[in-house]
Amino acid sequence: MPLLDRLQAKKYVDQIFISDSSALAEEKKIHGIEQSIPIDFLKNHWHQNNKLIFIGSIGAVVRLISPFVRSKENDPAILVMDSQAKNVVTLLGGHKQGGDRFATELASALDADPIFTSDSFIKKRIPLDCFGEGWGWRRGGGNVDWRKLMISQSKEQKNIIFQSKGSKLWQQLTAASNFSFLDNNDQIPSKNIDLYIGQETINGCSWHPPSIIIGIGCERNTDEKMIQRAIEESFTKNGLSLLSISCIATIDKKNNEIGLLNLSKRNEWPIYFFSAHQLSKVKVPTPSNVVMNEMGTASVAEAAALLKGSERGRLIQKKQIYYSKNDEVGAVTIALVEVKIPFAPHKGELHLIGSGPGELEMLTSDARKALARCVAWVGYAPYLNYLDSIRRHDQVRIDSQLTFEKDRCQHALDLAKEGIRVALVSSGDSGIYGMAGLALELWLDEPVESRPLFQVHPGISAFQMAAAKLGAPFMNDFCSISLSDLLTPWNQIELRLNSAAQGDFVIAIFNPKSIKRNWQLKKAVDLLLEFRKPSTPVAIARQLGRPEESIEIHTLETLPFDQVDMLTILLIGNSQSFIKNNKFLTPRGYFSN
């Protein structure tokens, strides 16, 4: 597939320009792209939040963009690729504009090599000026302060960091060992700090987790400017940063309040609506009979903010009424609730990763792309071990134990609800006896507005890899059955085995045997022998894709039960399956006529 098609198919680009001098000029006809002058294209797309991918030589790109380069704060991210997609280079905007992260994702998806020259990547440091974005935080502070901080970090000075809000998982990274973390007493220390992570406004570099919920009530047709001023004054009064806003909460009668809706959209603050009945059940410090008569609940601002904050919330500003000034219209009531755990599901992402049987070569490009995007990897420790060689220095791994699947999935979902980009890793394919189903159940139990992005990335299952190494055992109808009765009653497993045997399905047996569960396999084989010949081929595939890999072929009659464990998958042939020249084949039937 041509490179441009690949970029479009993977949704990395939404507009393509090809100059007449490009080696890819012939692809114009394929994509229906009109001729354009490069300078005009750059004039129209040289924006701070853009990411521009150039295909060609770095020298040509430098000459082309040089008239437009102004500053790291205003320039877009510039990436350069060769026409064969072998290398991806971040030229500009590696940190603040997310160029390095985007290059990593792009390279993972295209099986290219990302090439970085930034100090943080070369020396495996956490890039303090951009790392918070993956954790769902917003950046504060002036450009001069950030330049000073990044210079001091490049000189390997011990930066002092104070964090009062947001996940501290990142502090466990080896790359964070050179930082000095002050104890959290919820009060910003008087001594100088290099970086603050919390909800308050400071002079200097800061990251702000989404920890403040704004409860709003207003007169009908109150304008956007009036609401904005009320919020700003409330935050200034409490020493809070607007960058720490999680969301807005109000009564559902305001779901068509134009000023409020426009404010929410412009600032990218999600807005949540509650009925008067829901709000009336919330205990508030300052109920109002006037509001009760008008709205059907004694409180809107306080009740909505507290209800959205649920048990996590603490009222830090009781309702305060702001009246219009000058040319403003309306009146606004503001209440503020602080939540202990940040809440930003609209920013969070939960990616279900199938890591394949074991070899990194078996990891799909889609899974690689998602892993590159996530800052936190959650999974059973041995599965994460197989992926650790491709984990970046700024990515956290959160190990889980066997049989703690529900806790593992819930933890990953909770992190994503904070606004964090999370990868939940299973072996093989996460949708085949993996974590995708359980994670989806938990996700569906959440209110719609509290759900982060949920995406499943396919992986190669052990039965597919076993089949590929053995020949072609699944050329006709087949099924997979797990012998684990921890979650499925044995009588139901037995029924499925019986049906598969009678239907002459080729069968992949997962979880055939464990130390505590050692009788089910013998029972299953005895059942299958009622319908199949003792000479039916059976493959034992163990530790696929790992150094200890072994594959043996036996029959139903000679199956060595002592060689089977939880790291084994069995492939059991049907009445047509046979072994020839050490290859396992189930004919499709092309030569039967």
Number of Cβ within 10 Å of residue 575's Cβ equals 11
What local confidence, expressed as pLDDT, does residue 223 receive? Answer: 95
Compute CA distances 348 → 22, 145, 160, 421, 494, whole Å: 39, 28, 28, 5, 41
Instruction: Find, among 533, 579, 546, 578, the residue nearest to 386 by Cα.
Output: 546
What homologous superfamily is domain 349-460 in, according to CATH? Tetrapyrrole methylase, N-terminal domain (3.40.1010.10)
Share of the chain above pLDDT 70, in %: 93
Spacing of C-alpha 250 from chain mean position: 29
Res. 24: pLDDT tops 60? no
pLDDT digits (tens, 9 = 90+) for 42-76: 887 888 778 888 888 889 888 888 888 888 778 88
> For 206-220, what is each residue's pLDDT tens digit?
999 999 999 999 999
**Which tens digits make up the pLDDT trace of 386-418?**
999 999 999 999 999 888 999 999 999 999 999
The pLDDT of residue 37 is 63
Nearest residue to 426 via CA among 464, 468, 377: 377
Give the model confidence (pLDDT) of 327-346 as tens digits. 999 999 999 999 999 999 99
Closest by CA to 446, choosing from 405, 400, 412, is 412
Domain ranges across the chain: 3-117, 137-208, 212-339, 349-460, 463-585
**550 pLDDT higher than 90:** yes
Q: Compare 253 and 97 and report the one with higher pLDDT.
A: 253
Is there a contact between 318 and 335 (Cβ–Cβ < 8 Å)?
yes
d(CA 147, CA 145): 5
Listed residue (349, 357, 348, 363) closest to 546, CA to CA: 357
Sign of CA dihedral 127, 366, 10, 136: negative
Residues 114-158: tens digit of each pLDDT? 888 887 778 888 999 999 999 999 999 998 999 999 999 988 889
Whether 577 shows a pLDDT value over 90: the answer reads: yes
Lowest-confidence pick of 118-122, 171-175, 396-400, 473-477:
118-122
Judge whether residue 348 has pLDDT over 70: yes
pLDDT of 19 higher than 80: no
pLDDT at 175: 93
Q: pLDDT at position 13, please?
A: 67
Residue 40 has pLDDT above 80, yes or no: no
pLDDT of residue 586: 97
In CATH terms, 212-339 corresponds, of 3.30.300.30, 3.40.50.2300, 3.30.420.180, 3.40.50.2000, to: 3.30.420.180
CATH architecture for residues 463-585: 2-Layer Sandwich (3.30)
Per-residue confidence band for 588, with pLDDT thresholds at 50, 70 and 90: very high
Confidence of residue 41 (pLDDT cuts 50, 70, 90): confident
Mean pLDDT of the chain, nearest integer: 91
pLDDT at 417: 98
**Per-residue pLDDT at 218:** 96
Span 499-503, average pLDDT: 97
The closest of 151, 282, 256 to 205, measured between CA atoms, is: 151
Contact 537, 570 (CB under 8 A): no
The pLDDT score that the predictor gives to residue 189 is 73
Domains 3-117 and 212-339 share a fold: no
Tokens 């020493």 sit at which residue?
239
Assigned CATH class of 3-117: alpha beta
